[in-house]
Structure 1
Amino acid sequence: MSDCIVIGGGLSGLATAVALGSAGLNVQLFESRGFLGGRATSYPADVGDQTEIIDNCQHILLRCCVNLMDFYSRLRVADQIHFHREFYFLEPGGRISYLRAGHLPAPYHFTESFLTMKCLSLSDKLSIAYGLQCIRREYEHRKDLDRITMLDWLKEKRQTQRSIKRFWGQVLVSAINEDLGRMAARHGFQVFWLGFLRHKNSYEMGVPVVPLAELYDSNTWQDLGNVEFRLRAPVERIWVERNAVYGITASKREHTARFYVCALPFERLESVIPELGIKADLFQHSPITGVHLWFDRTVTELPHAVLLDSAVHWFFNRDQGKYLQTVISASRSLVPMSKTEVVPLVLEELTKYLPEVRRAKLEKSHVVKEVRATFSAAPGTEQARPEARTPFKNLFLAGDWTQSGWPATMEGAVRSGYLAAEAVTRAAGKSMDFVLPDLG
């Protein structure tokens, strides 16, 4: 019998497994698909052809994501994350502004580059500076941040329309995967406080230099011989009696352990363990769309850029300017569109910023729609997020939708896995801490 069965091979389940494995527990992880990573994974661009492996969507992290980096360090792949110290803001016509830390200490480290940003007027900059000062004052004291939207708060602080569109919205919609008018102000505050104000280097953006799936393939787990993976093994049922779980059914076979961690998406729990009472409509989803574009020539020298005033939020240069990954967050308007409609839309947007796109030949494209990419971080959602403990003494929850202390991000997923692992060790009588504190 295993010490612990982990159900779900996304980041939260993997974080639980690596933490418990490093603590000496024998872990079995069950994943319904043939690969690990959940929504943060990669696969062949063309079925049956392994020569071009793509991520389902470009995933990035900030330096403030300390638990995610700890997870990568435990798997000895932290060196596969390349950090960038500049954010590029691209206007229609191609004019570039950039944001990077200067010589001043936090929270004033962006002052030099911020003042030179051509995409914002002086009134915009004064407006933003006032807003950031308000976040510093209100972050730990204001009590209604989970009851109002970020847009409500920005209007309350008299932010200019251009600052909302070109600064606040560009940063937050990408970070939270939700529109400002749907996003709880609490989450917007957290992004700016932890990512941009509290620590001088916390904003630095980490981009994996290998396909996501390589970060957690079988080779990375060699030092943890006590973690076993059961792929293509969907868990149909978690069985409970009185106040405990006594087993699971996976691929029509029974399996037992001392402890169980369920790291499934919230919409799966109603069928897998209805006794928990977590309904499929507990939260709403917010979609994200990634569009991969391969050109016959270099169309940009920039490593990445934010596209201002565009339906496309970001592009990432993946291969010498010939292969771009574009990202559209909170992409509800694209969900009903066919892939043949999405690609021309994205290309037309790119030509406004990168003139060379119009002269280049598009050799190949691939569209990925993650309709259930994240839960919607709407006002009131926070109180609905469950903690790791459940009414069943040997069952614990993990997932970016649980009470991780972070929004639905890779950092939030890993934190939730570590919290579940901590709960398991407490129940096992050898309490251990895995969650690292936020950058101070």
Structure 2
Amino acid sequence: MTAAEGSRARRAVVVGGGLAGITAALQLADAGVRVTLLEGRPRLGGLAFSFRRGDLTVDNGQHVYLRCCTAYRWFLDRVDGAELAPLQDRLDVPVLDVGGDRPRLGRIRRTALPVPLHLAPGLAAYPHLSLAERASVARAAFALQRLDLTDPALDGTDFATWLHRHGQSARTIEALWDLVGVATLNATAPNASLALAAMVFKTGLLSEPGAADIGWAQVPLGDLHDTLARKALDSAGVRTEVRTRVGGVSRADDGSGWHVDVDGERLDADAVVLAVPQRETHALLPEGALDAPDRLLEIATAPILNLHVVYGRRVLRRPFFAALGSPVQWVFDRSHASGLTDGQYLAVSQSAAQDEIDTPVPELRERYLPELERLLPAARGAEVRDFFVTRERTATFAPAPGVGRLRPGARTRAPGLFLAGAWTATGWPATMEGAVRSGFDAAGAALSALGHRRQPPSQEAE
């Protein structure tokens, strides 16, 4: 580094204003780097955002996090939003089964006992499995604890095969493993890498008693991921530009930095973080940045379908529940968060929705309104004021067996160019936690390359 270089503030451009990009920008700025954040959409937040529909503020889909999501909890703290997305005191998931002669309510819950005993009383009382099936779950949980998450062989096996080898029946997979796994992985057990599934269950259920306690936003997601995030970025000195498309990223002629081309402007930077989806990243990558850049195009995506129903009266007394024996997966009460004061607004979250992502709204309405009435007797005869659908066709990367070898790390072969996004090699599935962790990784690598000795703030969340 020359004396002139050492005397000026280092500059970074972050491309993409989702959780990964916001995190990278904040951590770089906190370390004294001059940061410009570029986002093509008119708002920040990536795929976890809000929009207006009439008098309501609606999230595009329901997003939750767990107590073990230390990186996302850091994010909430950093944008002063933790109080707006509180955690449960203790894990408690109502599970309503309508597949039998009569509806039956059970609960997945924990106690304060040490791991793994914290789940034993809840499992013993879980009515949706037989006594033998509950015993088999305990044996499989102990086997999960023994898995080495660093073993690359796990990524080549699907979760269903492993579950069957460990005595799990089809009913056990439906009523427990997939109940959790589909929501966190966005894939059923046959389509999920054992490495990612084991990470979810070991970290969330078998690491510490409170690890799986659930948190969710009590305000629109846009308040957290756009409004508060932008305020934090402004306070950190980040220049944030929305509605700004990046046309290209190239090395400076003298090799000393980078050029980022945007609408009518060329930005110079010492470091660039690409925090956009894998296909967009592939299009922006300079030649030679990755050994096998086309592997990014092999990382498939998986959709999530969200159904939104506004009733004329209250039909659900709980904040959320999961369903069995029905095409409905998870239902959340979003009335207060949306600003609804009369009636009730329910959000139905349908993960791994490949079969229905393109189904017309009238067909979805005809299928799901009767199902909600079957699950919620109070909905029978209730006025349906609104029914609408949001579709995220590329909501997550598909966590299929073998995906691990396709996910690149934060560093590239091009000095000063870094990657972020939930699809990168974080070890996590495509969650808000994974996105924030990828921002940590990219910022940490960039700070190291820029010669910053300060430990990146990401280490506080590990």
Q: TM-score, normalised by structure 1?
A: 0.94
Residue deviations 1:18-51, cap 9 Å, x none? Answer: 1112222221100001000010111112xxx4x3
Query: SS where residue 344 of structure 1 aligns?
Result: helix
Match among 67, 79, 87 for residue 93 of structure 2: 87
1:359 corresponds to 2:363: no
AA aligned to 1:290 is N
1:390 corresponds to 2:412: yes
Aligned to 2:249: 238
Distance in 1 separating the partners of 2:461 and 2:260: 35
Q: Structure 1 residues 274, 341: CA separation in 2 closer, same or farther (over 3 Å shift)?
A: farther
Match among 409, 428, 433 for residue 456 of structure 2: 433
Distance in 2 separating the partners of 1:135 and 1:368: 35
Alignment of 1:248-287 (within 5 A): 248-275=260-287, 276=289, 278-279=293-294, 281-287=297-303
Given that 1:419 and 1:434 are in contact with CA atoms closer than 8 Å, whether structure 2 keeps it comes out as: no
Query: SS where residue 46 of structure 2 aligns?
Result: coil
Aligned to 1:18: 26
Q: Structure 1 residues 228, 142: CA separation in 2 closer, same or farther (over 3 Å shift)?
A: closer
Q: Structure 1 residues 33, 309: CA separation in 2 closer, same or farther (over 3 Å shift)?
A: same
Match among 112, 123, 142 for residue 133 of structure 1: 142
Distance in 1 separating the partners of 2:256 and 2:429: 30
Given that 2:15 and 2:246 are in contact with CA atoms closer than 8 Å, whether structure 1 keeps it comes out as: yes
Distance in 2 separating the partners of 1:299 and 1:21: 47
Match among 357, 365, 379 for residue 335 of structure 1: 357
1:406 corresponds to 2:418: no
The CA RMSD over aligned residues, in Å, is: 1.9
Which stretch of the first structure deviates more once superposed, 241-250 or 150-159?
241-250
Query: SS where residue 193 of structure 1 aligns?
Result: helix
AA aligned to 2:26 is V
1:215 corresponds to 2:227: no
Which stretch of the first structure deviates more once superposed, 17-26 or 183-192?
17-26
Match among 23, 32, 50 for residue 42 of structure 1: 50
Residue deviations 1:234-285, cap 9 Å, x none? Answer: 1121123686752111123211111110001001123223524533622111
Distance in 1 separating the partners of 2:145 and 2:198: 9
Given that 2:81 and 2:224 are in contact with CA atoms closer than 8 Å, whether structure 1 keeps it comes out as: yes
| Identity percentage of aligned residues | 31
Query: SS where residue 387 of structure 2 aligns?
Result: strand
Match among 196, 219, 230 for residue 205 of structure 2: 196
* C-alpha deviation, 1:101, in angstroms: 1.6
AA aligned to 2:126 is M
Alignment of 1:55-74 (within 5 A): 55-74=59-78
Aligned to 2:3: none
Aligned to 1:145: 154
Distance in 1 separating the partners of 2:268 and 2:166: 55
Q: Structure 1 residues 322, 226: CA separation in 2 closer, same or farther (over 3 Å shift)?
A: same
Which stretch of the first structure deviates more once superposed, 401-410 or 349-358?
349-358
Moved over 6 A (4+): none
Distance in 2 separating the partners of 1:69 and 1:116: 31
Query: SS where residue 44 of structure 1 aligns?
Result: strand
Distance in 2 separating the partners of 1:236 and 1:342: 39
Match among 288, 308, 313 for residue 324 of structure 2: 308
Query: SS where residue 239 of structure 2 aligns?
Result: strand
* C-alpha deviation, 1:314, in angstroms: 0.2
The structure in which a higher percent of residues are helix is 2
Distance in 1 separating the partners of 2:112 and 2:17: 42
Query: SS where residue 415 of structure 2 aligns?
Result: coil
* C-alpha deviation, 1:142, in angstroms: 5.5
Residue deviations 1:209-246, cap 9 Å, x none? Answer: 11111113345544524111101001121123686752
* Structure 2 unaligned residues grouped into runs of 5+: 1-8, 337-342
Which stretch of the first structure deviates more once superposed, 315-324 or 111-120?
315-324
AA aligned to 2:237 is N
Which stretch of the first structure deviates more once superposed, 127-136 or 139-148?
139-148
Aligned to 2:14: 6
1:178 corresponds to 2:187: yes
Distance in 2 separating the partners of 1:235 and 1:339: 34
Query: SS where residue 83 of structure 1 aligns?
Result: coil
Distance in 1 separating the partners of 2:151 and 2:422: 24
Aligned to 2:81: 77
